[in-house]
Every structure is written in structure tokens, then in C-alpha cells.
Structure 1
Amino acid sequence: MTPPEHETPGPGAHAPQSSAAPRTPYRALVVTASNRASAGVYADKGGPLIAEGLAGLGFTVDGPQVVPDGDPVEAALRAGVAAGYDVIVTTGGTGISPTDATPEATRRVLDHEVPGIPEAIRAEGLAQVPTAALSRGLAGVASRTLIVNLPGSTGGVKDGLAVLGRLLVHAVDQLRGGDHPRPGSPS
């Protein structure tokens, strides 16, 4: 789905007339939560995949920022919200191991949760990978920023991107004050 500011009018169409200033491009930040990747033990694979997927949706993407699990995740999220990103997508730290703390860090930043997003992401992966049910990822809003936790595996990232591709532009439009589309109309 192409963000409205990137759409071009069809042949014979007139550009919409508006007194409002043009909207700024959609901005996204990618944060990878991984003790080992942040220490250079292995390369981050999920973060670049997310950045590529978000760019394909028309977002200007910063990151991935690779940080250790725990408090550094919360710090990165708070900095991203303060910087005014429309979306922050994390990867990693959503499982059940003792060091997986991304959901807790995220919850401390959120104003309210949007539970349908992680439910849809888990459902997307369950048919192929039963362990997708072990993901504890969250999604929610902090100020006007949507934050979404994706699993650390590339498969989990792909499942998450499949879901986000269907709703992310609409969600950002809503956070920017857009109206709900009428039934049957494009969002």
C-alpha cells in the first residue's frame, strides 16, 4: 500500500486542492534486541529485513539500532518516541528465556496496548511453526508512535511484516488524526 503522499494521480486526474500543508513522509525506526548481536557474536538478520520491508511500504527507515536485551530496549524506544517516529518495530527478546525482556520494556513505554496486532502476527506464524505461540510480543501506542514487537527469528519477522503490510499505513494515518474510511472504501 502506497502512502498517500507517494501516490500519483491517474491520467486526467487533478491533484487534490488543500489548504493544509503536505504531510511529512512516514518515519520508522527499527530496533534489534539481542545481547549476542550487540556484542558482535553474530550479525543481526531480522533488523535489516524489517528495514527493507518498511521501506517497501513507503517509510523512511532509520536503523536497525542493535541494543542488548533489557533496559537498553526501553531507552531506545523512549528516544524513538521522543524523536517523533510514526512507527518503531523491534525484533528479538520476545520469547520465554530469562533474558527475553522486550515486552516488559515496551509495556513501560506504552500509553495503551493494541492487542490485535500481536495476535494476528502469532496467528500468521502458527500454521507453519507451532512455537510461534511462545512469542510474547506486544503492540501499542506511545504518544503518537505505534510500537510493534516482532520475534527475533527471520521467519517471525516475515510473518510480522506480512501482517504489518496489511495495516501499518492505515494505523499511522489514524495516529496522525485521519478519519476512519467508509466501509468498502480504500483506507
Structure 2
Amino acid sequence: MRPVAAVIVASDRCADGIETDTSGEFLVRSLRDCGFSCASATIIDDDESKIRAALAEALDQGARLIVTSGGTGIGPRDITPEATAPFIHRPLPALAQLITAASLEQTPLAALSRGLVGLTKDSPKTLIINAPGSLRAVECVMTTVAPLLPHLFSQLDGTDDSAGGYRPHEMAVTEVLD
């Protein structure tokens, strides 16, 4: 059985139908390519209570990986990290730093992203990643994180073989959307 992943897009403009979501669509396809079962992205306003409710629902549905898109900047409505923080029991700062370092190779604006990465408390533990809202940013996040997922989940599940779980050549990431 494939592990469950969830994608949550926090965007006032997409939730209001002003813009069409592309980052969430890309994340769903990429997570499926990585072997996860993933429903369509949940698109919600940049509202802390709505983001928390969407995270709680994804956890209730058994998600082992939740990737949020949007709301990680410094604008007044960018509150995804604040909404996510109560769910994270074990932060993974080095993984967040790795994402930032890879993103900085794309644009200096990555220095303004405040996304969190960490694990939930409850078992089985769930990995939560806050990604910026642009398509280019989520492509970078997935390219950076996808090779680490097999080893990460083998460690979480207690099946770590100390090296054999890390197989970056076996991970596929969806091509850029046309």
C-alpha cells in the first residue's frame, strides 16, 4: 500500500478564483511520482485557522507527508509557518536549510522564505514541509527533498538499513509544467 501524502495550497488569489493554482498541481504529480498516494491539492485562503484545519484533516486522513505551498514570505498574509508550528514536534532545520540553499541558487529572494520543516509527534510520524507558492520554488523543493524521502521514511519506520534507503537515482520528479 502506498503511503499517503497531502498538498495544501495557501493562496487568497487561488482560493478566490483570481489565479489558477499550478504549484499544487505540480506537487501532487511529483508526490505520486515518488510513490505516494495523493489526492488533489486543497486550496484555501491565507488564513491561520483554515491552514490549521487543513493540516489536521490531512493528518486525520493518515498523511505521512504534507507539503504546503504558499504563505512562507514576509507579507502580512504570509502565516503558513505560524499555522504549521503547533503541529511540528521535531523540527528538521538542516533540511529547511538545504531547501533554502538550493533555492538561493535560483533566486536571492529565497532568503525571504520562512518555511518550516519537521515531524509531527503522533505515530506514525508525518513529515511537514512548508514550500513557497511559486511553481519554480516548489520544483526546487521537490528536486531537493525527493531523493531523501526513502531514507527519511525508512528511519521513521524503523526499517533503516543505515545506507540502503538512500537511492536518489530511483526517485523521479515530474517535469516542469508546460
TM-score, normalised via structure 2 length? 0.86
Equivalent AA in structure 1 for residue 44 of structure 2: V
For 1:73 and 1:186, the matched residues in 2 are separated by: 32
Aligned to 1:31: 8
Alignment coverage as a number of residue pairs: 162
1:168 aligned residue (127, 149, 161): 149
1:72 paired to 2:50? yes
Confirm or deny: 8 A CA contact 1:87 1:172 kept in the other structure: no
Q: Max radius of gyration: which structure?
A: 1
For 1:56 and 1:95, the matched residues in 2 are separated by: 28
Aligned to 1:157: 138
Identify if the C-alpha distance between structure 1 residues 79 and 128 changes in structure 2 by more than 3 Å, giving closer, same or farther.
same
Aligned to 2:106: 128
Gaps spanning 5+ residues in structure 2: where? 167-178
Gaps spanning 5+ residues in structure 1: where? 1-23
Confirm or deny: 8 A CA contact 2:3 2:35 kept in the other structure: yes
The Cα of 1:176 is off from its aligned counterpart by 2.3
Equivalent AA in structure 1 for residue 29 of structure 2: E
The Cα of 1:42 is off from its aligned counterpart by 0.9
Aligned to 2:171: none
Aligned to 2:62: 84
For 1:42 and 1:165, the matched residues in 2 are separated by: 27
The Cα of 1:39 is off from its aligned counterpart by 1.0
The Cα of 1:133 is off from its aligned counterpart by 0.8
For 1:53 and 1:137, the matched residues in 2 are separated by: 19
Equivalent AA in structure 2 for residue 91 of structure 1: S
Indicate the SS of the match to 2:153.
Answer: helix
